[in-house]
Structure 1
Amino acid sequence: MDPLAFLAGVAVVAGACTTVPLYMRARRAERHADRAERLAERLAGELAVERHAASHDPLTGLPNRRAFYQRGTELVADGTRHPLVAVVLDVDGFKQINDAFGHSAGDEVLVTTARRLSDIAGSGLVARLGGDEFAGLLAGRPGSPQEQADRLAVALAAPMRLGGQVITVSVSVGLVPVEPDAHLADAIHRADAAMYRSKGARRRPHHPAPHLSAHQHVLHTTLRLTRPRPPAEMEPFHRPTTAN
């Protein structure tokens, strides 16, 4: 055997013995890096879900009370987002809806109300404060608070179909303009007070409050329920509501 060829062969084998372990270690390192990256992505996703759950209402998907005040404060402080109008509303006769149709139907009313209010808010902010009470900042909408209230009334008074039933709900609402230097909590407090004045005026129909504006009257439609019947007999019936 040629000594030079033998030595060359030995060198090749030695090089292979060195290269193969290095290659295997590199491959293991790549697999570990891939697993670490996937784990980091999964943890980041879980953290994002937890943060969303902590700041949003699980039924409607709207920001909750805490998130509303955090984001709303920033919105009010941003002078480029004005004019703004603070709104607080709740669904009239909500307990009746739950009693007549069940809690799943009541949930659907809340989800529909949340969606419609969000559409009205545009680039503003809407939140579910709890129960059947919602709050929002209407932004980037033309017109006076009166005109915005009219649009809100029309949107929320549209009939809702719940299975075989058609239901029209009313809301009690308060609307107040928000100045650029205003405190959000104060604006929401004033809107909430206006909402309860509006609700109280409906309990005393013969003695309307002198400060009650016209738009607060049009925002109150009577809850009407329609029973499913054969087409030839389809007639709506009226069930009056009682104030919350």
Structure 2
Amino acid sequence: MPDPMTVASGISAAGAILSAWQLHRRAQRAEAEIELLQAELEAERHAASHDPLTGLPNRRAFYRLAATLLTDAAGKPLIAVVLDLDDFKQVNDRYGHAAGDQVLVSVAQRLAAFAGDNLVARLGGDEFAGLLTTPTVDRRWIEHATRRLCEALAAPIPLGTRTVRVTASVGLAPVHGPAQLTEALCRADTAMYQAKSVGAARPARQLVESARLADYY
């Protein structure tokens, strides 16, 4: 006949093992729930600070990140960039809003590729901005950078079995200090609208741009 003390001891040990296993399972579930909540919180933070279409930082995030970059720039020259697509409404009207969205995504990707590790953002609609670290801020460099960016943006954009071409008006302006970001963006914005008005004042140039916008293959 089994010793009652031995049986009781075995039952107690089994109960302790079961209790420990249950506690371990509860701890695992709690850790999984915490990880899920953290992931959801991070996703919410990302959604609040990024454009859902292009994945670029939005306007609010751009100003916050730019302020940090300006504080940590350590004397490096910085250039503010503002760009706006020309006659973007024609894309939506001619090809549909899905095509317009694809154009915006392509423009965002090309701007990000041009900027490299620098900050770029979609401010809203077809307006984008950036803050670039540069080797210099002389006029020749700014003109060269503006031309390169415009050429990159004007390359054909594939849309299924067709392609479209869009042009952009671009403005660049040096940022002279952490407190001068808003002023630099205003100057870049003014330069961008001057470029747009110069294009509008050239009928032949506008005709060519409109034809490129409508081309598809």
**AA partner of residue 31 (structure 1):** R
Rounded Cα–Cα distance in structure 1 between residues aligned with 2:12 and 2:75:
66
Range that drifts further, 134-143 or 146-155: 134-143
**AA partner of residue 215 (structure 2):** T
**Residues 1:226 and 2:201 aligned together:** no
Query: Quick check: 1:88–1:134 contact (8 Å CA) kept in 2?
Result: yes
Rounded Cα–Cα distance in structure 2 between residues aligned with 1:89 and 1:179:
20
Partner of 1:84: 78
Mapping 1:78-117, distance limit 5 Å: 78-80=72-74, 82-117=76-111
Query: Quick check: 2:77–2:175 contact (8 Å CA) kept in 1?
Result: yes
SS at match of 2:53: coil
Partner of 2:142: 145
Cα deviation for residue 147 of structure 1 reads: 2.1
**Residues 1:175 and 2:164 aligned together:** no
Unpaired runs of 5+ residues, structure 2, are none
Query: Quick check: 1:122–1:140 contact (8 Å CA) kept in 2?
Result: no
- For the pair shown, the structure with the greater C-alpha radius of gyration is 1
CA distance change for structure 1 residues 137 and 202 in 2, over 3 Å: closer, same or farther?
A: same
CA distance change for structure 1 residues 227 and 170 in 2, over 3 Å: closer, same or farther?
A: closer
Range that drifts further, 83-92 or 160-169: 160-169
Cα deviation for residue 168 of structure 1 reads: 1.3
Cα deviation for residue 140 of structure 1 reads: 5.0
Partner of 1:69: 63
Q: 2:151 aligns with which of 150, 154, 161?
A: 154
Partner of 1:198: 195
Rounded Cα–Cα distance in structure 2 between residues aligned with 1:227 and 1:175:
31
Unpaired runs of 5+ residues, structure 1, are 207-216, 229-244
SS at match of 1:173: strand
Q: 1:59 aligns with which of 36, 41, 53?
A: 53
Q: TM-score, normalised by structure 1?
A: 0.79
SS at match of 1:71: helix
SS at match of 1:169: coil
Partner of 1:238: none
Cα deviation for residue 82 of structure 1 reads: 2.3
**AA partner of residue 226 (structure 1):** D
**AA partner of residue 209 (structure 2):** T
**AA partner of residue 150 (structure 1):** R
Moved over 6 A (4+): none
Query: Quick check: 2:146–2:171 contact (8 Å CA) kept in 1?
Result: no
Q: TM-score, normalised by structure 2?
A: 0.88
Q: How many residues align?
A: 209
Partner of 1:36: 30
**AA partner of residue 87 (structure 1):** V
Cα deviation for residue 80 of structure 1 reads: 3.5
**AA partner of residue 176 (structure 1):** A
